[in-house]
């Protein structure tokens, strides 16, 4: 399994959320395949030096969001991908980010045209980076 999780104690993001987002990203990027087993909760907690409760919460939320299938006594496995569900979740994140950016832009007096230029710049940077 190609799963490498990096925990930052200074990021301000809860540790369970960091674990959840990194596993989700690995699934979305194809680093973890459908049906692939994840480490047990206890094993993950030990490897990351976090509490079992933290690892449990990350896995539980991934299960609730449809990214994992967890069976008592068998473990947690990457769920079959529902591309439409994943797309909707990603669109929701994009909308939230745009709403936050628009609010900041309004406070700073940034015009719609300037926002479009900023977006173009960001997208070009990702294509070139």
Q: With respect to residue 4, please indicate whether it lies within any of the assigned structural domains.
A: no
Please check whether residues 74 and 102 belong to one and the same domain: no
- pLDDT recorded at residue 2: 54
Q: How many domains does the chain have?
A: 2
- pLDDT recorded at residue 128: 67
Q: For residues 80, 86, 88 and 93, what is the CA-based torsion angle, rounded to 10 degrees?
A: 150
Q: What percent of the chain has pLDDT over 90?
A: 59
Q: What is the pLDDT along the chain (129 residues), one digit of tens a residue?
A: 457 899 998 889 999 999 999 999 898 888 898 899 999 999 999 999 999 999 999 999 999 988 999 888 899 999 987 767 777 877 888 899 999 999 999 999 999 999 999 989 988 876 665
Place of tokens 């993001």: 13
Please check whether residues 65 and 45 belong to one and the same domain: yes
What is the three-class DSSP state of 37?
strand
> In whole angstroms, how far apart are CA 116 and each of 57, 61, 97, 107, 113?
38, 35, 14, 17, 5
Q: With respect to residue 6, please indicate whether it lies within any of the assigned structural domains.
A: no
Q: With respect to residue 5, please indicate whether it lies within any of the assigned structural domains.
A: no
Please check whether residues 23 and 68 belong to one and the same domain: yes
Domain that includes residue 23, residue range = 15-78
């Amino acid at each position: 399994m190609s799963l490498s999780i990096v925990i930052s104690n200074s990021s301000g993001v809860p540790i369970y959320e960091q674990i959840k987002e990194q596993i989700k990203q690995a699934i979305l990027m194809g680093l973890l395949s459908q049906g692939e087993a994840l480490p047990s909760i206890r094993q993950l907690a030990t490897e990351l030096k976090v509490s079992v409760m933290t690892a449990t919460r990350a896995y539980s939320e991934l299960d609730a969001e449809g990214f994992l299938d967890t069976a008592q006594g068998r473990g947690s496995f990457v769920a079959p991908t529902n591309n439409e569900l994943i797309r909707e979740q990603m669109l929701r994140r994009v909308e939230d980010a745009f709403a936050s950016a628009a609010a900041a832009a309004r406070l700073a007096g940034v015009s719609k045209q300037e926002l479009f230029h900023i977006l173009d710049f960001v997208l070009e940077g990702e294509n070139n980076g």
